[in-house]
Every structure is written in structure tokens, then in C-alpha cells.
Amino acid sequence: MANNAVECNTISFNAVISACESGGQWEVALQHFGSMARGKVYPDTISFNAVISACGKGMQWDKALQVYDQMVQSKVACNTITFSAANSALEKGGDWTRALQLLLVMSQRKLEATTSALSAAIGACERCGQWEKVLQLLCITAQSKVKSLRDRQWAAE
């Protein structure tokens, strides 16, 4: 009789966690994420990003940040998706100071702030009445777009 067992590895866990994220099942995503460690399967960037996003979409911004902090402590590489998902969660929680800190970390890591990361930070600031910060972010966004356009123009010449 053939063994039809599916090997539990990072890829299979990522598929399940991503499906939970898409289905709005943040609790189940967290359960499977926790199962990874118990099964001696190590989460990667995709694993962490999917859980952060699932928690953020489920309005569990505090849990999303706990997972982000765990990611940093585990020394798993963060990417633009990580910061966008974390900032999206922070927007829902109204934690504008942490959202701005994450934008700074992106800059320090030489990652370009995505539109979604900037929009989420702007949303967090707006939610908390930090209109001065909103204006600063809008200026930064406009400046980076102008620089990007100039860089493209020079590359085309």
C-alpha cells in the first residue's frame, strides 16, 4: 500500500498559512505558524509575511507586531512585503509612531518604501490626528516620485 502522507515542510506550511490569510482566518494561520516550530520546521520570510498580513487583516495588529518582532529576533530577512504588511496592521491599530519607525528601518536597510507602506503610515497618522506627519510623508512621497522620474529620465538618455 502506498504512503500518501504529505511531508510537512516550510513550503507546505506557507501554502496553508497563505490560504488562511486569504480566507480571513488569522487564528488558524497563527496556529499553523506555531505548529512549524513544534514540528522543527523553520519559518522563512514568506511564512512570517503571511502571518503578519493575516493578523493585520483580522484587525489583530498587536499580534501582527509580535510576529514581526519575532521575525526580527529570529534574524529572518525582512523585505518590502514585511514592512507593508506590518504598516498596514499599524494603520488599523493607529500606532503612527511605530509605523514611522518601520519606514525609517526600511530606509536604513536600503529598501524603497512602497506605496502601500507609505499609505498605511499616512493612514495611521491621519487616524491619530497627526496631520503634520501626514504632510511630511506626502512631501517625502512626492520628492521620491520626482527623484524616481529623474532617475528614469537619465537612464533613458
Per-position pLDDT tens, the chain of length 157: 455 666 788 999 999 999 999 999 999 999 999 999 888 899 999 999 999 999 999 999 999 999 999 999 999 999 999 999 999 999 998 888 899 899 889 888 988 888 888 888 888 888 878 888 888 887 777 666 545 434 444 444 4
The DSSP string of 119-134 is: HHHHHHHHHTT-HHHH
Kindly report, residue by residue over 103-115, the tens digit of the pLDDT.
889 888 988 888 8
Kindly report, residue by residue over 11-37, the tens digit of the pLDDT.
999 999 999 999 999 999 999 999 998
pTM over 0.75: yes
